[in-house]
Structure 1
Amino acid sequence: MDWREYAEQMALLARDLLAQGSVQATLDEIAASAVKLVDGCDAAGILAVRKGRAVTLASCGDIVQDSDRLQGELGEGPCYDLARRKDGERVYRIADMAQPQPTWERFAAQARKLGIGSMTGVLLYTDSEDFGALNLYACRPGAFSKDIETAGWLLASHAAVALADARTIDQLQHAMETRAAIGEAMGILMERHQLSGDDAFSVLRRVSQEHNIKLRDVAQKVRAERTDPAV
């Protein structure tokens, strides 16, 4: 592997990821970039485990979702275990899926039928958060050499930083939209019922609590229908 060229590609990737407009766009670009940048990679995806369930956050290639679904059904597999931080591992590599895989015996047997020849993956994480596992697939055995562990770690490190940044921006945008929605809904109630700001907010909060509906959703209902927030 030409590490100088790869480093230049990582620099370009970092800029591309930071230019994405949303968390999902960043996830999708990470998967697509892995296929473009890693030699021998035919497909790539990001898998997370939420409440014990395998969730495909992004995929580039049909085989990704088939593999994620299989691991979720079996409750085992390299991506599934890595996303759960089982045994504290942050990277895995299966050089040849046709060779015995004692740790993931059931998965390996089914993975061969899906056309997976070799796999590798690395955890997407920062100091404060795990985002899931970035997994790379190849149709042929032996596609990923030992160098892939370093290459994958470099790619995942850039990706995790960009993903953390995208999530922060997304959360800030969401918070701004929520405040705007609540403010407008309060204004509607204040004008219609001659309420104070505190009283209008209390009405929204009461409906939210009584009906177990998010405050933002109650506010959006008032804005959209310009009716009292009764359910």
Structure 2
Amino acid sequence: MAKFDPAVPFAADAFAQLAIELHDAPGLEETVDAVVQFALQAENCTYAGVALAVRGAPAEIGAVTDPVVEEIYQAQIDADEGPMITALTERMTVYIPDTAAETRWPDWQRRVVGLGIGSVLHVPMAASDRAIGVLSLFNTRPDAFDNDDEAIAHILARHASIAVASARHEETMAQAVDARKLVGQAMGILMERFDVDDDRAFAILKRYSQDTNTKLRDVAQQLVDTRRLPAVRSEESA
């Protein structure tokens, strides 16, 4: 497919189609995979990837078009430094036209040069002033990305940010519904076993969650799976 030109209507049509695909994607994994596959078609890149921000934890690899990108990402996540980490934490575009001449991240530089990467473009993804991740483009040639490439990457990153934020919200809501169902099952077991009402059953689960420093959902899961609560105190003394 020819490289997209953001100045012509075809580009608008292509991004409109992408927006539909992202909206219809069944989950987060499918969403980010659609983004990187689109990047391969729309951009002058050999490889593409998306790294995702995780609140209170290291970044995680969302999607890659080649194992090379996964290796480059993982090395930066493990070291907590590199151009992708900078783009993510500082929410700034990082363009490295010639990896052979890069001096800011020597360990990263040696790795990517050894993997045959000539130029790299990282564009931050954000929604509602919250870091979502980074869209990364790689080319085996130096000086591969021009202003048009960066402009397209920013448009793609905006689409991706909204789609990823939406997919995460839907997953969170689904997990919350599943957790409520699981807690309800566990409460039913306690109500039947000890002849207590729902308030008392929930209080028992909550106490075991606190006493064992375990999430309420996990306590409920253990009870449903084993018909037993963590061995802290007997259920009857609750």
Q: TM-score, normalised by structure 1?
A: 0.88
**What amino acid is the match of 1:15?**
I
Residue 12 of structure 2 is matched in structure 1 by 7
Per-residue CA deviations over 1:180-209 (Å, capped at 9, x if unaligned) read 111111111111210111110011111111
How far apart, CA to CA, are the structure 2 residues paired with 1:205 and 1:167?
A: 27
| Cα pair 1:46 1:134 within 8 Å, conserved | yes
1:41 to 32, 41, 45: 45
Residue 194 of structure 1 is matched in structure 2 by 195
User: What is the RMSD of the two structures over their aligned residues, measured on CA atoms?
Assistant: 2.0
Q: Does 1:23 align with 2:28?
A: yes
Residue 146 of structure 2 is matched in structure 1 by 145
1:71 offset after TM fit, Å?
2.6
Range 213-222 or range 100-109, more displaced: 100-109
Residue 228 of structure 1 is matched in structure 2 by 228
Residue 235 of structure 2 is matched in structure 1 by none
Distance 1:211 1:52, change over 3 A: closer
Q: Secondary structure at the match of 2:99?
A: coil
Give the length in aligned residue pairs. Answer: 225
Distance 1:179 1:72, change over 3 A: closer
Distance 1:75 1:195, change over 3 A: closer
1:54 offset after TM fit, Å?
5.0
How far apart, CA to CA, are the structure 2 residues paired with 1:180 and 1:200?
A: 14
How far apart, CA to CA, are the structure 2 residues paired with 1:154 and 1:81?
A: 20
1:211 offset after TM fit, Å?
1.1
Percentage of pairs with the same residue: 32
Q: TM-score, normalised by structure 2?
A: 0.86
- Which stretches in structure 2 are left out of the alignment for 5+ residues? 232-238
Per-residue CA deviations over 1:58-93 (Å, capped at 9, x if unaligned) read 2221111121133345543211211111xx52x122
Range 209-218 or range 151-160, more displaced: 209-218
1:216 offset after TM fit, Å?
0.7
Residue 55 of structure 1 is matched in structure 2 by 60
**What amino acid is the match of 2:94?**
Y
Q: Secondary structure at the match of 1:12?
A: helix
Distance 1:75 1:221, change over 3 A: closer
| Cα pair 1:208 1:215 within 8 Å, conserved | yes
Residues 73-222 of structure 1 mapped to structure 2, 5 A cutoff = 73-85=78-90, 89=92, 91-98=93-100, 100-222=101-223
How far apart, CA to CA, are the structure 1 residues paired with 2:195 and 2:57?
A: 49
